[in-house]
Chains A and B, each alone.
Chain A
């Protein structure tokens, strides 16, 4: 269950508007190592 105990001040959502509905299984998986330069593992 999505939780009321989640802090609404903290939770963020990055949303991409696609030109068409996302087909089943309703996920887009993208493999692109160039994106790793934006990502830092902190734990």
Chain B
């Protein structure tokens, strides 16, 4: 498939490329509404869409510090480092010197996420008002008590000492609708580097194991109706978490309040160099430019939306 070029559109230059190995195809700029959008402010954007074959993969870096990537149809590029992955679903670069407001970012990410939903990357939900977020939105929870509402059958498992911890992927696809969150682990990052502003939409949290509950019983009836009539209480969450960490072999644990949001957006600054393309003006996306430093940056920022 020949690469298309939307560079004639002055307001939004959608960078489109083809990958012969995987037959990547990209959504058209009009589907994003970029050609009519004042707020786009010169963004070059690419979103990965359908592919006829499953994946193309490559490994970059040295033997010890390898970043591996795979293309996933209708999802994006999955990057791996030491057995941990993040999924880059869309990436864009704003024109140098462009002033981009939070409102601009919201509209751009909204369009990109609508396109991702259209192509089946995830099912959208109404979860709450969207705000630009920082780490300050996620203070550590200082309480010690933890309650979990359960159906009768699950309580039997707990009585036997059987505890289940689901990953982000589990909660995105779990069959129980009351527990499902198809937007779990998704985030949109506005990354300001010394030269450019980048926008990236990604999914992460595949290496996080979650245990969900509440801090009080103030909505006991409502919670029981949703999750089950039985309730367990963990009196000292810190001690429980330490014990589980040791048993699971987890690197760390965190407990935070949960924040629901239609479109989780984070705005960050970095001195690191971010590149999506080897050419200027930007042309084809080169996944090998996502190196270890960029992987680490994305992973750390994405942590906030995973842990809370």
| A interface residue numbers (CB < 8 A to B) | 1-22, 25-36, 38-43
Contacts and interface: CB of A to CB of B under 8 A. Distances in A.
Contacts of B207: 17-22
Contacts of A7: 218-219
Interface string B206-217: 111111111110
Nearest to B243: A35
Contact of B141 (A6, A12, A42): A12
A27 B170 contact: yes
Interface of B: 82-85, 125-128, 141, 143, 146-147, 155, 158-167, 169-170, 173, 177, 180-181, 183, 206-216, 218-219, 222, 224, 226, 229-237, 239-241, 243-245, 247-260, 303, 306-308
Given A22-B169, A28-B248, A43-B230, 20 more contacts: A2-B180, A10-B214, A10-B215, A12-B146, A12-B215, A12-B255, A13-B212, A14-B211, A14-B244, A14-B254, A16-B248, A17-B254, A17-B303, A18-B251, A22-B208, A26-B166, A30-B162, A34-B243, A38-B239, A41-B233
A6 B216 CA distance: 12
Contacts of B180: 1-2
B164 A27 contact: yes
Contact of A29 (B84, B162, B306): B162
Contacts of A22: 167, 169-170, 206-209
Contacts of A21: 83-85, 167, 206-207
A16 B244 contact: yes
A43 B210 contact: no
B213 A12 contact: yes
A38 B160 CA distance: 13
Contacts of A40: 232-235
Contacts of B256: 12-13, 15
Contact of B249 (A18, A33, A34, A43): A18
B214 A18 contact: no
Contacts of B158: 36, 39, 41
Contacts of B84: 19-21
7 contacts: A2-B181, A7-B219, A12-B212, A20-B207, A22-B208, A25-B170, A29-B164
A31 B213 contact: no
Contacts of B230: 41, 43
B167 A26 contact: yes
B163 A42 contact: no
A8 B257 CA distance: 7
